[in-house]
C-alpha cells in the first residue's frame, strides 16, 4: 500500500536548515494497522504530512498503491487526498454551523457527487461509527467522542485506501479514547489500512505494528509486543 525510500525533509528557518526526516525507508502493506511513535520533534508528524500528500519531501520516493505520488500534478494530488486518503486529526475540524450529516458530506461535495448519493453514503458512514441518531446535530450538541466519530465518518465516506490519524485521542478522556481506538480497530478488521501517529503507548497498543522515530530516523519497527505475546 505504502512504500517510501530514503525520504528526507529539511525545513529552512531563516538561514538555518532544520532536518525533520533523515533518509526514512519503510513499507506498509494493505490492511495493516500501524502506530508511528516518537517524542515531539522526532519526525513522526512530518512523515504523516508526507504520506497524506499535505507536504512534499526534499528527496526520496513515495508510492501509494503502486502510484508514484511525487510525480503527480497538484490537481491529481488533490484528487488523491480527497479519494484515496482519509484524515483524522486531534482537533476534529468540523464546521460549527453544519450538522453531522453535512460535515460528513463535505468531501463528496468536492468530489462532485450528486446530493442523493452524498446523503446515502454519509448516512452509511455515520452508521459505521454508531451515530445514525445524531445526523442532524451540530458539533456543539455532540460530545468530544461523538465529534471525533463524525470526523472518522467524514474520513471514510470516499472509501479511502489509507486512513491517517494524527493523535486522534489527544483531546479526549481515557474512556472516550478507548471507544475511538476500538472504532479504528473495527475499521481495520474490515480491511482498511490504518496509520496512527501518537506519542501515547496506550494508543499504540491497539496497533499490530509499532514504528518508533527519533531525530528524523526510524529506530525500531516491530510487531506490537502485545500482539507478539498473543501469537
pLDDT in tens, 118-136: 999 999 999 988 899 999 9
Please give the average per-residue pLDDT across 84-102, as a whole number: 92
**Per-residue confidence band for 231, with pLDDT thresholds at 50, 70 and 90:** very low
**Per-residue confidence band for 226, with pLDDT thresholds at 50, 70 and 90:** low
Q: Assign residue 29 a region: left if phi > 0, alpha if psi is -120 to 50, beta otherwise? A: beta
Q: What is the pLDDT of residue 225?
A: 64
Q: What is the pLDDT of residue 227?
A: 52
> According to DSSP H, which parts of 43-173 are helical?
44-51, 74-83, 100-111, 115-128, 144-156
Q: What is the CATH topology of the domain spanning 2-229?
A: Rossmann fold (3.40.50)
Please give the average per-residue pLDDT across 188-198, as a whole number: 94
pLDDT in tens, 32-77: 999 999 988 899 999 999 999 999 999 999 999 989 998 989 888 8
State the burial class of residue 199 (Cβ atoms within 10 Å of its Cβ: 0-12, 13-18, 19+).
Answer: middle
Distance from C-alpha of 97 to C-alpha of 102, rounded to nearest angstrom: 9
Q: Taking 70 as the threshold, does the pLDDT of residue 145 lie above it?
A: yes
Q: Taking 60 as the threshold, does the pLDDT of residue 228 lie above it?
A: no
Q: What is the pLDDT of residue 150?
A: 94
Q: Enter the C-alpha cell of residue 65.
A: 498503491
Q: Enter the C-alpha cell of residue 85.
A: 486518503
Average pLDDT, the chain: 90
Percent of the chain at pLDDT exceeding 90: 67
Distance from C-alpha of 165 to C-alpha of 154, rounded to nearest angstrom: 12
Q: Taking 90 as the threshold, does the pLDDT of residue 140 lie above it?
A: yes
Please give the average per-residue pLDDT across 194-219, as a whole number: 94
Amino acid at each position: 500500500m505504502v512504500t517510501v525510500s530514503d525520504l528526507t525533509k529539511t525545513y529552512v528557518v531563516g538561514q538555518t536548515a532544520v532536518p525533520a526526516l533523515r533518509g526514512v525507508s519503510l513499507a506498509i502493506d494493505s490492511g495493516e494497522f500501524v502506530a508511528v511513535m516518537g517524542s515531539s520533534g522526532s519526525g513522526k508528524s512530518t512523515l504523516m504530512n508526507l504520506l497524506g500528500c499535505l507536504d512534499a519531501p526534499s528527496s526520496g520516493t513515495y508510492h501509494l498503491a503502486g502510484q508514484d505520488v511525487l510525480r503527480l500534478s497538484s490537481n491529481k494530488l488533490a484528487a488523491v487526498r480527497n479519494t484515496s486518503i482519509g484524515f483524522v486529526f486531534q482537533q476534529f475540524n468540523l464546521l460549527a454551523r453544519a450538522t453531522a450529516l453535512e460535515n460528513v458530506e463535505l468531501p463528496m461535495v468536492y468530489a462532485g457527487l450528486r446530493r442523493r448519493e452524498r446523503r446515502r453514503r454519509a448516512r452509511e458512514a455515520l452508521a459505521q461509527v454508531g451515530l445514525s441518531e445524531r445526523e442532524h446535530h451540530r458539533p456543539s450538541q455532540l460530545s468530544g467522542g461523538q465529534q471525533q466519530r463524525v470526523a472518522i465518518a467524514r474520513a471514510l465516506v470516499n472509501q479511502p485506501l489509507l486512513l491517517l490519524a494524527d493523535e486522534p485521542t489527544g483531546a479526549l478522556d481515557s474512556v472516550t479514547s478507548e471507544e475511538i481506538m476500538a472504532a479504528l480497530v473495527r475499521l481495520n478488521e474490515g480491511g482498511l489500512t490504518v496509520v496512527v501517529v501518537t506519542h501515547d503507548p496506550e494508543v499504540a497498543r491497539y496497533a499490530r505494528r509499532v514504528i518508533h522515530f527519533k531525530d528524523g530516523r526510524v529506530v525500531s519497527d516491530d510487531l506490537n509486543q502485545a500482539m507478539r505475546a498473543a501469537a
